[in-house]
Structure 1
C-alpha cells in the first residue's frame, strides 16, 4: 500500500469514529451529548496540531502541505469539521444517521480513490472509485447508526442519501484543494441534513432506475467529451436529484438541455476555434458552466419537494420556475453556439455590427435557434405535465427573457463586474422569476 493510500486509510478510521456519536446519543440527554460528541474530535484536533513533525503519527497522517508546514493541518481540519457538524446533529435535529453518512462518505470515498490511484487508474476511474466507495460506505454508516439508535429506515432513501452525498463530495472535492476537505464535509452534511429533513419518498425501483440512468448518461457525456469530470459529476448529481425529488418529466427537460447543449458546443468546433468562440477543453463543459446554468432549476426542484410545507407556495409554481430556467439555459446555449457560426452579429444594446464572439453580440440565426430551444423545453413540459397553451407560452416567453438578459448583461457588465458563469446564472434566475410571474399572471398557477 502506498503512503497516500495508507494515509487515506488512517483518515477513514478517524471518520469511522463518527459512529461514537449515536452511542453517546443513547447514553446522554441532548446538551450533554452535544458536548460529549464534539470532545473526541476536538481532542484529535489538538493532538494533530501538537504532533511532532518527526513522529509516527505525523508520518501516518501528513500530507505534502503538512510536511512543508510541520503541522498536521489536514487532520486537524478534518477532525474539527466533524466536531462542528456534530453540533447540528446532536442539538438542532439533524438525523444522526445522516451525520454519520456524511463523514464516512468522504473518508471512505477518499480511501477508495487513493487506492485506485495507487494502481495507476485513470482520473475518471479514480473518481468512479470515490463515488462508489463513498456510496457503499455511506449506506453502511447509515445502517450502523440506525441500528445503534434502534430507529427505522427505508433502504431506498438510505441509498439516495448516500449516493447524493458521494456525488456531492466528489464534485466539491474535484474543484477544491486537498486541504479544503473540511469544506467538502460541511457541504455534504448540510445537504444530507436538508434531504433527510424533507423526508423524500423514494422507492426501490425508483432509486435503482435513477442511478442506472444518471450514471450511464454521465459516462456517455464524459466519453463523448461533452463534459469534464467535474461537469459530468454535476450533471449526474443534478439528474439524480431531478429524477428522485422531481420525476421523469422534470428529468426529461433537464437531460434535453444537457444533451443538446453539450452536442451544440461540438458543432463545427474547428470553425469556432478559428473564430475564437469555442468552449475550452474541446467543448467539454466544466462544473462551473453546468452549475451556473442549472442551480436555479435545482432550487426549484428542492422547493417543489418542500412546497407541501409552504402554504403560500403551490407546487406548480416551482414547476414553471424550473421549466423557465431550463428553457433559458437551452435558449442561450443554442443561440450562442449556433449564432456564433454566422457573420455580422450585432450588439444587442446598440445594434452596431461587432466581431463574432463579442459578448452581447447576436445574430438572427442565433435568436431563431434560441426560440427553437425554448419551444423544445416547453413542448417536453407540455407533454409531461399537460401545461396547456398558456403554460407553453409562459415557458417559451421565460426562455426568451433569459436569453435576452444574458445578451444584455454580456454587452454591459460581463468581463467587468461578473464573468460568463455569473451572467449565465443571472439569466436563468431572471427566466425562473419571469416564468413564475407569467404563470401567475396568465392563470396557469393559482395562489
Structure 2
C-alpha cells in the first residue's frame, strides 16, 4: 500500500501540481479519518496504535508534499521528486518481501537497494518522458542518482527507526537535488564499474569485520560519490584510509582488549566513526565538483589538497591510536604526564611515528596519482596530516568527554588537516 501511495507521485509530471495536490489532500484526509479497522491495521506504524491515528502515514505524505512543493516552486527537477518517493516506497516493499524468507541483514539491505534503484530509475525516466525529454541518454546519470539515494536511504533506515521514513524521504530528495545540480558526466560502463568496485570493497569490509552494516553503507556511498565526482585517484586515496585504518584495528587486538582500549564490535567501525573521519573529505569532493562546474570561484585543485589533508589526518590519527596504544605507557600531550592506556589525549612515540608514516602513505599516493601534487604538495599533505593528528590529541586532552565526543573530535581534526593543507597551498601560490 505504501508503494502504491508513492506511485501517486507520478501525478505531478502527468497531470500537474494541482491534481497532485488534490490527491495528496485526499490521502491526508483519509489518514486522519481512519482510526481503526483493517485499513488502519494495514497502514499503521507501531506507535500509531497508542493514539488511534495514522500519524506515520500523515507525516510521510507531508514529507512527500514538502518535496513536491520544492519540485514545483524551485529548481528541483520533478524527476528527483518522483524518483525519491518511488525509491523509498518500492525499496521498502522489496525488503519486506525478502523478510518473509530470510532475516539476514545483508540480504534485506541489498534487496532494498536494488528494488529502490530500479524503481527510482524507472520513475525518473518516466518523469523525463512525460516532460517531453528523452531519458535514454540520461540513464547512466539516473542510475548514479538512484544508487546514491538508495545507499543513503538504507543507511538512514539502519540508523533510525522505520517510522522515520519522512526523514529518509527529505534527506534523499535533497541529496539527489544537489547531485543533479552538479550535472555529473558518466557513461553506462563507468557507472556499472563504479557500483561494482564500491560494492565489492564495502562487502569486503563487512566480511572482514572492519565495518558494521552502517559503516559499510557509509563507506560505499562515500566511495561512489568520490569516484563519480572526483575520479579513481580520489577513490584510491580514500580507500587507502579505510583499508589500512580498518586493518590497524586488528593489530594486536587481544592486547588492546586486555588494556581496555580496543574498538567495540571486534573493531568493526560504524557509520559515526566513518563519517567523523571522512565527512570533511566528502565535502571536499563536492566542493571540487561544484568548483569544476563553475558554482564556486576557487580552483578545483584547492579542494584536492583539502581532501588529501583530511584523509592524511584520518590515517595519521587512526594509526597513531591503534598502533601506539599497545606499546609503553602513554603521556598526556598537554603536560607529558604518564596516563593510563586509552586516556583521551595520551600519546606515545611509537604512535607518533606510526601517524607520520600514515600521512606519508597518503602523500605518496597523492604524489603518484595527481600531476598537481608535486614534491612540495606531498610535503604539504604530510604536514597537514601531522597537524591534524596533533589537533586530535589536543582536543582529546582538553574537550573530549565534556564538550565533544570522539566523532566530534575526529571531525574537527580532519577539518583542521584540510584547512592547513588549503592554507599552505594558497600561501605557497602567493609567496612561493
**Interval of TM-score (by shorter of Structure 1 and Structure 2):** over 0.9
Tell me the CA shift for residue 36 of structure 1.
4.7
**Corresponding residue of 2:187:** 203
Contact 2:35/2:54, CA 8 A, preserved across alignment: no
**Corresponding residue of 1:332:** 317
Point out 4+ residue stretches in structure 1 off by more than 4 angstroms.
Answer: none
How is 1:125-274 mapped onto 2 (pairs within 5 angstroms)? 125-153=107-135, 154-274=138-258
C-alpha distance after superposition, 1:256-289 (max 9, x if no partner): 0011111111111111111111111110000000
Partner-residue secondary structure (3-state), 1:442:
helix
Between the aligned partners of 1:56 and 1:420, the Cα distance in structure 2 is 47
Contact 1:42/1:80, CA 8 A, preserved across alignment: no
**Corresponding residue of 1:402:** 388
Partner-residue secondary structure (3-state), 2:47:
helix
Between the aligned partners of 1:203 and 1:267, the Cα distance in structure 2 is 40
Tell me the CA shift for residue 311 of structure 1.
5.6
Tell me the CA shift for residue 315 of structure 1.
0.4
Tell me the CA shift for residue 206 of structure 1.
1.2
C-alpha distance after superposition, 1:395-415 (max 9, x if no partner): 111111110110000000101
User: Which of residues 387, 400, 416 is equivalent to 2:402?
Assistant: 416
Contact 1:62/1:72, CA 8 A, preserved across alignment: yes
Partner-residue secondary structure (3-state), 1:285:
coil
What's the TM-score, normalizing by structure 2? 0.97
Contact 1:249/1:385, CA 8 A, preserved across alignment: yes
**Corresponding residue of 2:358:** 373
RMSD of the TM alignment (CA)?
1.4
Between the aligned partners of 1:40 and 1:443, the Cα distance in structure 2 is 58
Contact 1:391/1:444, CA 8 A, preserved across alignment: no
User: Which of residues 279, 282, 297 is equivalent to 1:312?
Assistant: 297
**Corresponding residue of 2:9:** 18
Comparing 37-46 with 140-149, greater Cα deviation is found at 37-46
Contact 1:127/1:170, CA 8 A, preserved across alignment: yes
Between the aligned partners of 1:193 and 1:124, the Cα distance in structure 2 is 28
Number of matched pairs: 428
Contact 2:149/2:172, CA 8 A, preserved across alignment: yes
Tell me the CA shift for residue 113 of structure 1.
1.1
Tell me the CA shift for residue 50 of structure 1.
2.3
Between the aligned partners of 1:86 and 1:38, the Cα distance in structure 2 is 9
Tell me the CA shift for residue 444 of structure 1.
9.1
Tell me the CA shift for residue 197 of structure 1.
1.2
Contact 1:339/1:366, CA 8 A, preserved across alignment: yes
Contact 1:42/1:79, CA 8 A, preserved across alignment: no
Between the aligned partners of 1:157 and 1:437, the Cα distance in structure 2 is 34
* 1:71 to 2:53 alignment: yes
Between the aligned partners of 1:433 and 1:209, the Cα distance in structure 2 is 32
Contact 2:330/2:346, CA 8 A, preserved across alignment: yes
Unaligned runs of 5+ in 2: none
Tell me the CA shift for residue 445 of structure 1.
11
**Corresponding residue of 2:31:** 48
Between the aligned partners of 1:50 and 1:343, the Cα distance in structure 2 is 68
Partner-residue secondary structure (3-state), 1:443:
helix
How is 1:81-96 mapped onto 2 (pairs within 5 angstroms)? 81-96=63-78
* 1:302 to 2:286 alignment: yes
Between the aligned partners of 2:205 and 2:199, the Cα distance in structure 1 is 10
**Corresponding residue of 2:412:** 426
Partner-residue secondary structure (3-state), 2:429:
coil
* 1:281 to 2:281 alignment: no
What's the TM-score, normalizing by structure 1? 0.93
Partner-residue secondary structure (3-state), 1:266:
coil
Between the aligned partners of 1:445 and 1:222, the Cα distance in structure 2 is 47
Comparing 298-307 with 435-444, greater Cα deviation is found at 435-444
Tell me the CA shift for residue 181 of structure 1.
0.8
**Corresponding residue of 1:6:** none
Between the aligned partners of 1:380 and 1:323, the Cα distance in structure 2 is 10
Partner-residue secondary structure (3-state), 2:344:
coil
Contact 2:121/2:146, CA 8 A, preserved across alignment: yes
Between the aligned partners of 1:281 and 1:445, the Cα distance in structure 2 is 49
C-alpha distance after superposition, 1:151-204 (max 9, x if no partner): 134111011011011001001111111111101100000000011111111111
Tell me the CA shift for residue 344 of structure 1.
1.4
Unaligned runs of 5+ in 1: 1-9, 26-32
**Corresponding residue of 1:382:** 367
